[in-house]
Amino acid sequence: MVRDDGDGVHTVSFPIIAISGPPGVGKSTVIASLSSKMNLHSVYFDAHETMTDRPVEEIEEWLARGMPLAEMVPVGLVDHLEAARQDRPVLFETPLGRAFPNHSRLISHSIWLDCPADIALARKISETVSRGDWDSLGDLTSWLSGYLAAYPRITAPSLLQQAARVRPLADDLIDATGDASEVAAQVGAIVDQVQQAYSV
């Protein structure tokens, strides 16, 4: 898309397509598949967020106050998105979609990947366990115990908030329960449509 900045300078920018959904739904898999196949930039919210570095008690208190998103400060994220879209379209993995005021204005299209919580949890654990970069079985066991202990205190409440606040703002809902390649094909078709609309 070419826009006139008002002083005769024309700036080219490309669409940013947000991919959201619960952990384990397959966001990273879809983005990794499509980024290379369709020559798209990929930007990951998790690479910039700092909320999960806070003590568990502080996160619980934040959740109890209704998860005020304005208190999340993803370092350098907006600059990263702005820079990426100057070159080519962007697939943006974000748990917050358009619900997050920090980057909502930059999102051209929002896709929510839907999946039952139990299946998403099983996928998340399976994916993490099979990574192959664990130093020892003890490290893996420690991570798994910590993740499952935090799930009812942190993850489950945040997923309820996410579904209530992010899902309704999505432009497209995709059932991600099935095969990852089929989900990627559906997302890819939407990306094509967005690119065509943006180039008009």
pLDDT of residue 156: 92
- Does the pLDDT value for residue 37 go beyond 80? yes
Range among 16-20, 75-79, 134-138, 179-183 with highest mean pLDDT value:
16-20
Average pLDDT rounded to a whole number, residues 149-178: 93
- Cα–chain-centroid distance for residue 49? 11
Region 170-192: mean pLDDT is 95
Mean pLDDT of the chain: 89
Confidence of residue 200 (pLDDT cuts 50, 70, 90): low
pLDDT attached to residue 70: 85
> Above 70 in pLDDT, residue 7?
no
Q: Per-residue pLDDT for 111 more than 80?
A: yes
pLDDT of amino acid 4? 45
Indicate if the pLDDT at residue 98 is higher than 90.
Answer: yes
144: CATH: 3.40.50.300
> Which long-range contacts (C-beta less than 8 Å, at least 24 apart) are formed by 169-174?
169/97, 169/98, 169/99, 169/110, 170/20, 170/97, 170/98, 170/110, 170/111, 170/112, 171/109, 171/110, 171/111, 172/109, 172/110, 172/111, 172/112, 173/111, 173/112, 173/114, 174/111, 174/112, 174/113, 174/114
Predicted structure pTM score? 0.88
Strand, helix or coil for residue 93: strand
The total number of structural domains in the chain stands at 1
Question: pLDDT tens across 40-86, in order?
Answer: 999 999 999 988 889 989 999 999 999 998 888 888 999 999 999 99
Handedness of CA 55, 61, 67, 73 (dihedral sign): negative
Range of the domain at 76: 2-199
